[in-house]
Structure 1
Amino acid sequence: MTGFETFTELVLHRTADLGEKDAFIFLHDNAAGTGAEHLTYNGLDAEAKRIASWLQAQGAEGGQVLLLYPSSADFVKAFTACLYAGSVAVPAPLPGDQGHHFARVSGILRDAEVKAVLTDSANEPNISAWLREAGFTDINCLATDRPGEGDPSAWTAPKLTPESLAFLQYTSGSTSSPKGVMVSHFNLLSNEYAIQRSTSSDENSRLGGWLPFYHDMGLIGHILQPLWLGGSAALMSPVSFLKRPFRWLQMIDQYKVTIGGGPNFAFDLCTRRVTDEQLATLDLSSWKVACNGAEPVRAETIRAFTERFEPAGFTPEAFFPCYGMAETTLLVSGTPYGQKPVIRSADIAALELGTLREPAEGAPARTLVSSGVFQDFDVRIVDPQEHTERPEGGVGEIWVKGDSVAGGYWKRPETNAEIFQAVILGGEQGPDAGWLRTGDLGVLESGQLYVTGRLKEMILINGRNIYPHDVERTVQALDPALAPGNGAVFSVDTGEEHLVIVQEIKPNSPSAADLPALAAQVRTLISKEFTVAGSVVLVKPGTIRKTTSGKLQRTLMRQLLIEGKLTPLHEVLEDGVKALVDAAALASVG
């Protein structure tokens, strides 16, 4: 793979070897327009040693260090400093004053047993106050952009092994509370190598993205991959992208980015928001790998984006649908470089019964996009109840083995035994141990991996498996008032399973004027297409919860409904669901 035993050793070699080469270019949008901040390998090395010396003086070598930054050069310097200090970086979003991020980061602070907190001078007063209020008065907080803290000459190389932890990657909490994935230096080196092989990248590659730096795809794909390659990256903040999606494409053009990507919604946003006038100014011919991951890949997203941006030099072969997760460091599989994504139709009824099959003419069908072939992993499809391997074409849980599979969750030994050391039964050689249960449903066909859903979110009604996103997409195609990508389908157990959809409404759409009629149409459609009754909750924009990478938090939406924490514009609930919600409301009053 490489001659390096730790990622720290690799970065030290890169900084010594590449000197004044740009490692990162950070784009800033401000009142004066746009600007770029360049960080060379030499500059990164000097700043990392300065901050690392402070961490070592605090006794943080081998301990966890919480990183709380916006997407900025300061985050990259701080993360590299943790590598240099032999500390375990814990990237997290800024906590804010209240709400989801506040609760999540407070939980991370308690769980990770951090020795120090790093942030910037703009956020340091609020972070210090937050630490005091949380009762962590013994944890020192450093604003790393403040001069005079740390002495590079006092830095000493840490004593690390391949098994040493590089960082804790806290999961997004799509289906449960965040857990810290323990990523070792060996895991990180292995996965960066797999990413390089999958994307055919080298030291001349330039990555470009906007994903949050604390997110695994942003951290490993856009920050650590350039360091692995000895390449460079152009980066911008998520806020800048969401305000002006065109700016991302403009960055790809301006800096001749070769690799970059994001979840479906990023490509959909560009397709909708980039004007013809803006399109005419773009040259996207340098973009050879457009990674599409972090949520189920939609064929319509690929088709619409390609059609829209082919005049600007984007090619269908550039799309790189991929699959991965924090528990495998990042990447598991991806479309082979230079090949078009594999897209196929599947019979919905057969999928519900656990088999991938071409649909008969006129039969209800679902379009599946392959997540490609796996790189340096052994992947099996396993019956989640029986723990036996499914035949090719059979739907089951995706189980994986490989050098990139993390050591488990921080301080979760019982969960680790269940999730990271699963055993496949029934094989000719006897029980086969040491598998990671991904919690995702999928199917293998001709070496291609198709992800079909999430095990915990599968709805089982009347002996049939119903995929939430099938219902969501069917409903959202009914009327323009039903915002695409902003509805969540889940089941509620009242002694029997009930299907519920919580769906955002576009307020200016004509149908929004008669929500009872629209809800009735949705219920009729669900009954017709899926032969089940459905409860419908119509809500205002911004209600549907998502992770930082855009994944729907269906389990959280179920919890909010049951706890009476949603404010519907209009709802029609089945009797059992209504009784459950009403009981929760009475309990909260009492």
Structure 2
Amino acid sequence: MIELMIGLDVSTERGGLTVAEFRSFAELVLARAAERGGADAYLFLENGVRGVEPERLTYAGLDRSAKELAAWLQERGLTGRQVLLLYPSGLEFLTAFVGCLYAGAVAVPAPLPTEQGQHFQRVSGIVRDARVGAVLTIGKHEPDVRAWLAAEGFSDVHCLATDGHAGDAAAWRDPGLGPEDLAFLQYTSGSTSEPKGVMVSHGNLLANEAAIQRATGSGPDTVLGGWLPFYHDMGLIGHVLQPLWLGTSAVLMSPTSFLRRPVRWLELLSEHRVTISAAPNFAYDLCLRRITDAHLEGIDLSSWKVACNGAEPVRAETLRAFAERFAPYGFRADTSFPCYGMAETTLLVSGKRHGRTALVREVDAAGLEAGRLEGPYLQAPTRALASSGVVNPEDFEVRIVDPETKAERPEAEVGEIWVRGASVSAGYWDRPEVNAEVFGARITGAEELGPWLRTGDLGAMERGELFVTGRLKEMVLINGRNIYPYDVENAVRGLDPTALGAGAVFAVDTDQEHLVVVHEVRPSALADQDLKQLTATVQALVSREFAVPAGNVLLVRPGTVRRTTSGKIQRTLMRKLFLEGAVTPLHAVLDPAVRALVGDRDPEPVG
């Protein structure tokens, strides 16, 4: 476990009010409700359409509804217990989350399976792992939730539709929480293993909200907004809880609304004069592909001060293209805010320097494969790395460490990113052995500095800037060379961004390592291009740019490549599906050794 003192001295100014040393996030929200009263805390637009009056939730309304729910939870002995939140995007989730904080319960946000046509299998695993005592939802979904609980044998788990009567606010009692008490469990996506619940304490949450404020320069005039899922760390901590920390407001819409019509995000930002909004890199790419000039009539992005881009490697090309595309509509290049963070650190670790455009570093490609940031050199191949910004020493310490020897790496050399600070959680729920390894790591020769979090991410520090280069477990080693899957995926997509979507690159092992490229294509955009020819073009590109054999290329339909809820490519899962023959290509070319490895499960192209 991390042996960090949560000795918070969290202070900031907001209109003359000094926020200092709150013992819990619940205590902070209570203070905000008393201060802000009838002011809007949240506005929600189901479809994010311009000109539509949003649903509103004031600070007083949030406080009242949260206390009613908290009283219900306390009456049933759920203080200190885990409570699963299964909601579609909407205001009900927000009151349920704060209600859990008020009750001293541990919120467990999760995606509502019926919202995405999923089954309850993953959520059942969370209920068992977290030992959930109650499930909260809305009346529309309550029958399905109750039926699922009964079918799974969760007879002792309470269920409540919180859009009905919950409890008596007058019966609520302050649970007297401290910074060490758990606020919620943030379950990871499970992209490389079974989902694990990150234990986020009230102290972690207060510390990271303060870190976000310092990094983004947010303040009393900040308006947050966006479409990110409420159950995911970036949406929850960045869009939902940061407004409460600041005592300001947020304008929110559903992820489905954005995915169906990406311009709705920009409409929301324009109409409600949003100043800070966050999204993964793929969302900015989606806007570039799907928003036309006709969609942008009347759009004004000049209020947008901080466009957070995180949760996956940030593409330098995306930063450039987005700034150029939307400059005529008021978007400034210095608005782009590449950042880095994860659930294990509550959320944010680093962000772009204030008052500067995002830093893009051209590095020598061969040097990067050897684990160094160097060059560029004349006429030698290069890679463009977007910096994920700087680390504020008030919030974190970051070291780059050799993952094998656990010795610290020098400036500009690639290693595993290790982190410590008040935002770093105590570990995963009920995973003591994993926690000792991941959250209790020590640097060789500097053991006295205490434990660090091993992030599993690869990166380098250069002149104070953090460059994230990939995931440790996803690195491909071929012919003694380190190949970053992200670089290959990016290069392939660059062949034709209008026709090529997401890609997943990984390695499989026969008598040697083989590179496999799975890439989505939009058939409608390839009417004049033969899939066989495109496959050959991909092979030639990979061979030329990366000097490795590219005998395995699968072109697949859009939606085939799996992502996490934050947009990260699930390469480990895609490798597993490929080996199981569960990836159905439109066209595929496989090396004979790889074809033999897949065997009878060899994926057959579809007609």
One-letter amino acid of the counterpart of residue 584, structure 2: T
CA RMSD of aligned residues (A): 1.9
Q: Which residue of 2 aligns with 1:384?
A: 403
Report whether the alignment pairs 1:117 with 2:135. yes
Partner Cα separation in structure 1 for residue 406 and residue 430 of structure 2: 25
- Cα deviation for residue 566 of structure 1 reads 1.4
Report whether the alignment pairs 1:206 with 2:228. no
Partner Cα separation in structure 1 for residue 119 and residue 342 of structure 2: 20
Q: Within 5 A, what are the aligned runs for 1:118-267?
A: 118-146=136-164, 148-267=165-284
Q: TM-score, normalised by structure 2?
A: 0.93
Report whether the alignment pairs 1:552 with 2:569. yes
Partner Cα separation in structure 2 for residue 206 and residue 27 of structure 1: 15
Q: Which residue of 2 aligns with 1:516?
A: 532
Contact 1:69 1:94 survives alignment (8 Å): yes
Of 536-545 and 264-273, deviating more is 264-273
Aligned with residue 497 of structure 1, among 498, 513, 517: 513
Partner Cα separation in structure 2 for residue 250 and residue 571 of structure 1: 40
Q: Which residue of 1 aligns with 2:5?
A: none
One-letter amino acid of the counterpart of residue 19, structure 1: G
Partner Cα separation in structure 1 for residue 342 and residue 228 of structure 2: 15
Contact 2:49 2:264 survives alignment (8 Å): no
One-letter amino acid of the counterpart of residue 70, structure 1: P
- Structure 2 residue matching 1:153: 3-state secondary structure: helix
- Structure 1 residue matching 2:489: 3-state secondary structure: helix
One-letter amino acid of the counterpart of residue 543, structure 2: S
- Structure 1 residue matching 2:88: 3-state secondary structure: coil
Structure 2 residues not aligned, in runs of 5+: 1-9, 11-19
User: Whose relative contact order is higher, 1 or 2, with alpha carbons under 8 Å and at least 6 apart?
Assistant: 2
Task: Give deviations 1:256-311, integer Å, cap 9, x for gaps.
Answer: 11111201122222233333244341221111111111111111111111112222
Q: Within 5 A, what are the aligned runs for 1:116-515?
A: 116-146=134-164, 148-375=165-392, 376-427=395-446, 432-479=449-496, 483-484=500-501, 486-510=502-526, 514-515=530-531
Task: Give deviations 1:505-525, integer Å, cap 9, x for gaps.
Answer: 221234775323322222222
Partner Cα separation in structure 2 for residue 541 and residue 433 of structure 1: 46
Contact 2:275 2:303 survives alignment (8 Å): yes
Partner Cα separation in structure 1 for residue 427 and residue 554 of structure 2: 38
Instruction: Report % sequence identity.
Output: 62
One-letter amino acid of the counterpart of residue 272, structure 1: R
- Structure 1 residue matching 2:503: 3-state secondary structure: strand
- Structure 2 residue matching 1:478: 3-state secondary structure: coil
Task: Give deviations 1:523-567, integer Å, cap 9, x for gaps.
Answer: 222222222222111211211101111110000000001111111
- Cα deviation for residue 32 of structure 1 reads 12
Contact 1:28 1:35 survives alignment (8 Å): no
Partner Cα separation in structure 2 for residue 76 and residue 4 of structure 1: 21
Q: TM-score, normalised by structure 1?
A: 0.95
Q: 1:471 to 1:100 in 2, by over 3 A?
A: farther
- Cα deviation for residue 570 of structure 1 reads 1.9
- Cα deviation for residue 481 of structure 1 reads 7.3
Of 127-136 and 271-280, deviating more is 271-280
Of 227-236 and 574-583, deviating more is 574-583
Of 571-580 and 149-158, deviating more is 571-580
One-letter amino acid of the counterpart of residue 462, structure 1: N
Partner Cα separation in structure 2 for residue 98 and residue 372 of structure 1: 34
- Structure 1 residue matching 2:442: 3-state secondary structure: strand
Q: 1:446 to 1:74 in 2, by over 3 A?
A: same
Q: 1:383 to 1:302 in 2, by over 3 A?
A: same
Of 100-109 and 122-131, deviating more is 100-109
Q: 1:32 to 1:508 in 2, by over 3 A?
A: closer
- Cα deviation for residue 102 of structure 1 reads 3.3
One-letter amino acid of the counterpart of residue 55, structure 1: L
Report whether the alignment pairs 1:47 with 2:68. no
- Structure 2 residue matching 1:161: 3-state secondary structure: coil
- Structure 1 residue matching 2:433: 3-state secondary structure: helix
Q: Which residue of 1 aligns with 2:87?
A: 69
Task: Give deviations 1:349-375, integer Å, cap 9, x for gaps.
Answer: 101101001221221111111111112
One-letter amino acid of the counterpart of residue 138, structure 1: D
Contact 1:94 1:101 survives alignment (8 Å): no
Q: 1:433 to 1:31 in 2, by over 3 A?
A: closer
- Structure 1 residue matching 2:109: 3-state secondary structure: strand
One-letter amino acid of the counterpart of residue 541, structure 1: P
Partner Cα separation in structure 1 for residue 149 and residue 602 of structure 2: 34
One-letter amino acid of the counterpart of residue 463, structure 1: G
Partner Cα separation in structure 1 for residue 309 and residue 377 of structure 2: 29
Partner Cα separation in structure 1 for residue 25 and residue 400 of structure 2: 32
Q: Which residue of 2 aligns with 1:25?
A: 43
Contact 2:48 2:265 survives alignment (8 Å): no
Q: 1:443 to 1:559 in 2, by over 3 A?
A: same
Partner Cα separation in structure 1 for residue 526 and residue 291 of structure 2: 25
- Cα deviation for residue 583 of structure 1 reads 5.3
Q: 1:562 to 1:77 in 2, by over 3 A?
A: same
- Structure 2 residue matching 1:548: 3-state secondary structure: coil
Of 89-98 and 199-208, deviating more is 89-98
Q: Within 5 A, what are the aligned runs for 1:75-90?
A: 75-90=93-108
- Cα deviation for residue 150 of structure 1 reads 1.0
- Cα deviation for residue 325 of structure 1 reads 0.2
One-letter amino acid of the counterpart of residue 145, structure 1: D
Q: Which residue of 2 aligns with 1:105?
A: 123
- Structure 1 residue matching 2:581: 3-state secondary structure: coil
Partner Cα separation in structure 1 for residue 133 and residue 276 of structure 2: 36
Partner Cα separation in structure 1 for residue 601 and residue 346 of structure 2: 39
- Structure 2 residue matching 1:17: 3-state secondary structure: helix
Task: Give deviations 1:234-261, integer Å, cap 9, x for gaps.
Answer: 0000111112222211211221111112
Contact 1:64 1:87 survives alignment (8 Å): yes
- Structure 2 residue matching 1:322: 3-state secondary structure: strand
One-letter amino acid of the counterpart of residue 526, structure 1: V
Contact 1:317 1:339 survives alignment (8 Å): yes
- Cα deviation for residue 54 of structure 1 reads 0.8
- Structure 1 residue matching 2:242: 3-state secondary structure: helix
Q: 1:100 to 1:525 in 2, by over 3 A?
A: farther
One-letter amino acid of the counterpart of residue 224, structure 1: L
Partner Cα separation in structure 1 for residue 471 and residue 286 of structure 2: 24
Q: 1:29 to 1:584 in 2, by over 3 A?
A: closer
Partner Cα separation in structure 2 for residue 582 and residue 525 of structure 1: 27
One-letter amino acid of the counterpart of residue 187, structure 2: Y
Contact 1:425 1:431 survives alignment (8 Å): no
One-letter amino acid of the counterpart of residue 127, structure 2: L
Q: 1:512 to 1:86 in 2, by over 3 A?
A: farther
Of 513-522 and 113-122, deviating more is 513-522
The alignment covers a number of residue pairs equal to 582
- Cα deviation for residue 382 of structure 1 reads 0.5
Task: Give deviations 1:313-354, integer Å, cap 9, x for gaps.
Answer: 211111111000000000000012332111110111101101
Of 514-523 and 205-214, deviating more is 514-523
Partner Cα separation in structure 2 for residue 34 and residue 480 of structure 1: 33
Q: Which residue of 2 aligns with 1:9?
A: 27
One-letter amino acid of the counterpart of residue 113, structure 1: R
- Structure 1 residue matching 2:27: 3-state secondary structure: helix
Q: Which residue of 1 aligns with 2:583?
A: 566
Q: 1:204 to 1:326 in 2, by over 3 A?
A: same
One-letter amino acid of the counterpart of residue 140, structure 1: H
